[in-house]
Structures are given as structure tokens and as C-alpha cells.
Amino acid sequence: MSGKTVCGVGLALMVLGGLGGCASDADFPPAQPPAAAVHFKVTAPGEFPVDVYLSAWGEGYVIHSPGRPPIYLISDKKSGFIVQRPGEAASFVAPRSDGNGWNILSADGPGIILMKQEGGSWILQPPGELPTLIVPQ
């Protein structure tokens, strides 16, 4: 799965706190997902399904995927989220005006649409690419 797909998936999963000030080890999420994390199967076009875990952390969420750095989702306190991955620019997530999903905006790429499907699954649709399917387990 490409880095943009994983980032998009991370943004997608946060749908279902700031970092300011001094922080101790207890302020950071664990390296592995906790037992209470929500489990998803994510299938990018032409690839095998990947396990992804979403857990609450501070005023947001953290997303774990085996072999990848965590994705941090921090509430912007205005119904959206700021998404940060180590070494990458932040992205911003805002609810769609039609209530059917989220818009994911990034300064270094085109916008991505996350749309809710019947049955509880989600479709992550970058422009000009095949969609990624996200299914709760």
C-alpha cells in the first residue's frame, strides 16, 4: 500500500488535544495498538487486505498498521481533524456538506473523498485512482 493510501486510510479510520506543552512518555500512544482498539481490514486496489487498528488517544486518535509508523489524528475543535505522520506535512479532514463522508485536504496533493457505504464500510477515493475499501471487523 502506498504512503498516501495508508495516510488516507488513517484519515478514514478516524471518522469511525493538542500536542502542545511538555510531554512525558505517558502522553504518547503505545507503540502497539491496545486491546480496545477497533480493527479494520483495508484493501487497496490490487493488493491483499491489511489489518489496521484505531484507538482513542488524548483529544484524538492514533492509527496503527503493522510495519508502518503510527498516524496521529488530533481534533481541531471545529468538527474536523488534523492528521500528522512522522516526517510528513499535516493534512486536514472536514465533514462533507452532504453528510455522506469527509474531505481530506493536503498541501502536497489533491483532495481525497471518504464516502460511507451501506453496511458500515467506507470507500477512500483519490482523484483518478481506483478506490480503497475499508471494512470494520
Domain ranges of the chain: 3-17+46-136
Quick one: pLDDT at residue 132? 92
What's the gap between Cα 32 and its chain centre?
16
CA distance 31 to 103: 28
CA distance 117 to 8: 16
Residues with Cβ < 8 Å from 128, sequence gap 6 or more? none
Weakly modelled stretches of the chain, pLDDT under 50: 1, 5-7, 11, 13-25
CA distance 53 to 57: 12
The length of the chain in residues reads 137
Quick one: pLDDT at residue 17? 26
The DSSP secondary-structure symbol of 21 reads S
